[in-house]
Chains A and B, each alone.
Chain A
Amino acid sequence: MADKILVMPCSGIGKPFGSIGRDATFRVCDDLRRDMADTVCLSLLVMGDTEAKRRISSSKCITVDGCPLACSKNNVGRSGGNIVAEFRVMDLLRENRSLKPRTVTFLDEDGEKLASVLADRIAAKVDELEGK
């Protein structure tokens, strides 16, 4: 069986954008495309974990970043990851200006809506990459 596509969210903890990216990732990996997608701890990868590095270099990776620092894209790239698609929560916010997520620990209604939209887009990308 081929390796699953890896969806790699940033680990943003100070603003809602990181929470949105992570929630979208879990929606994809645990629900929408659970047979086709998985994730790896970004910190473990950046710490140089051998198995994490092997997985990101042998799988297609989709990065999901909450802020312009793009920790996921930069760190997956630096660690030898095969990045095939990138998503940025900030882009989604620009397209949905009426939605104003405010909470970080538990997403509010607008945060949940954005996470749902983002998850659908990631799932569609997973399908595209798998030729479905």
Chain B
Amino acid sequence: MDIKPKVGVVSCSGECCSLGTLSRIATRLALEEKYDQTVTICLPLFLAGETEEHGFAKEHPTISVDGCGKLCAMKAITKYSKKPVESVNVEELLRQWGAKAPDGRRMLDSEGLKLANRLAKLLAERVDTIQEAS
């Protein structure tokens, strides 16, 4: 049987704005849909961690999901492990989609939820692509 490594999907924490909330919720939705193919880690734990935490991205091909252009998740994974296989900048992606950032950061409104589902679908597709290639 061909056992493929689970894909790490790591979202920025993004507590300061709704783009962070969108990133986290979309990441969670993708993890739920692909629960047997994915893993995650809290970004600050990864950042402040030791060998075990930093080994996370060495053991798993990763997708970084960043709410804004500061790209904390992508930079952290690159710095402490290796470059993510895929990197999603949600702020940039919304620009491409012609969508605006959700209004609230505590709860997503209906438009925000639609965006989260669309983003989760994209992440799930990329999980499949990465696993097929590995």
Q: Interface of A with B (CB < 8 Å)?
A: 9-14, 18, 22-23, 25-27, 30, 39-44, 46-47, 49, 69, 71-72, 74-75, 78, 104-106
Contacts and interface: CB of A to CB of B under 8 A. Distances in A.
Contact of A13 (B16, B28, B48, B72): B28
A86 B72 CA distance: 25
Nearest to B79: A47
Interface of B: 11-16, 20, 24-25, 27-29, 32, 40-45, 47-48, 70, 72-73, 75-76, 104-106
A11 B13 contact: yes
B104 A40 contact: no
Nearest to A69: B45
Contacts of B43: 11, 42-43, 46
Nearest to A22: B15
A107 to B, nearest CB: 9
Given A41-B20, A46-B44, A13 B11 contact: yes
